[in-house]
Structure 1
Amino acid sequence: MLPSRSARGRRAPMAEINVTPLVDVMLVLLIIFMVTAPLLTAGVPVNLPDSRAKPLDQDAKPTEISLDEQGRTFIDKEEISDAELPRRLDSLAVRNGPGGQPPQMFLRADRTLPYERVMRVMGELNRAGLNRVALVTIEGSAGGKRH
């Protein structure tokens, strides 16, 4: 004799998985990360120039050197004096990156700074042996007018 329909329904395991709550949670997390990720990368506020260059592939976290509109120099987020810059760059050059290469450096300079100021920092980077330097810009049209 077959068991009644209600008895069979109570004992049979449910074979379906409801993924709707999982998808809802994942979409909310995606939106949160998309909104907060750009806020985490900014260190020293710098008005960067535009460029049409493609982004570089990153192999490790680079060290950022920033020059703000007053000409102050920062390594990562720490302000350093011009006299202290050569010593700090020498200590950075001792650390080797992947494959024994010098570490990757990102140079962020405000667009209003004189060319001489930026070149002085680049000269110190070169003197210290830090020749893997990338100039950070904002993606956009090179030479185009901002509205």
Structure 2
Amino acid sequence: MAASSSDDDFVADINVTPFVDVMLVLLIIFMVTAPMMTEGLDVALPKVETSEILPTDDDHVILTIKADGALFFDQYETAMPDLRSVLDTRVKATGRQLFVRADKDVPYGMVMQVMDNIRGAGIADVGLITTSAPDEAQTSRADSAAKSTYPNARSTGLGG
């Protein structure tokens, strides 16, 4: 008598354990790198004695001017001749708030050229991002500012 053996049967189950392991490793990597991505470009901001802490949200665009004169919208580099069209499409058309981060070593003329392009694009409300100078009288404000992403964003009306 021939008995049927179960050794010849194939198991068609999918083993999900390696897949779950890989997904958990990727999740940990993204959780570790996500806070580093929010810091943005490395710019030495000017220090000011008085500053106003404004609440910020995700509905804003940051224009960064690096020490070498390079312009960045959030993380994307742009050139000065293209600045006005980028301002029209990324700020004015979307109604988002514009913040300017300029390195303290950027020449005044370069900042004024950027501000002229901002005014020419019809944007009247601009936030200037700075850092506070250490002061004993402002320790309570410095503690609360440390919790904000852009602790010393100063809003300036350009008018026009």
Which TM-score band applies after superposition, normalised by the shorter structure?
A: 0.5 to 0.7
* Structure with the largest fraction of strand: 2
Q: What is the letter of the counterpart of residue 113 of structure 1? A: V
- SS of the residue 2:81 aligns to: coil
Aligned partners of 2:84, 2:99: CA distance in 1, in Å? 16
CA RMSD of aligned residues (A): 2.2
1:46 aligns with 2:43: yes
Give the TM-score of the pair, scaled to structure 2: 0.57
Question: Residue 49 of structure 1 aligns to which amino acid in structure 2?
Answer: P
Where has structure 1 moved over 6 Å in runs of 4 or more? none
Aligned length: 102
**What one-letter code is carried by the residue in structure 2 that aligns with 1:43?**
G
Could you list the runs of 5+ residues in structure 2 that have no partner in the other structure?
Answer: 1-30, 136-160
Q: Give the TM-score taking structure 1 as reference length.
A: 0.62
Does the C-alpha gap of structure 1 residues 43 and 59 become closer, same or farther in structure 2, counting only changes over 3 Å? closer
The letter for the 2-side match of 1:106 is F
- After superposition, residues 89-100 of structure 1 pair within 5 angstroms as 89-92=87-90, 93-96=92-95
Rounded Cα–Cα distance in structure 2 between residues aligned with 1:141 and 1:126? 33
Find the counterpart in structure 2 of residue 130 from structure 1. Answer: 123
Alpha-carbon distance in 2 for matches of 1:118, 1:129 = 17
Q: Which residue of 1 aligns with 2:78?
A: 80
Which residue in 2 is equivalent to 1:5? none
What amino acid sits opposite 1:62 in the alignment? H
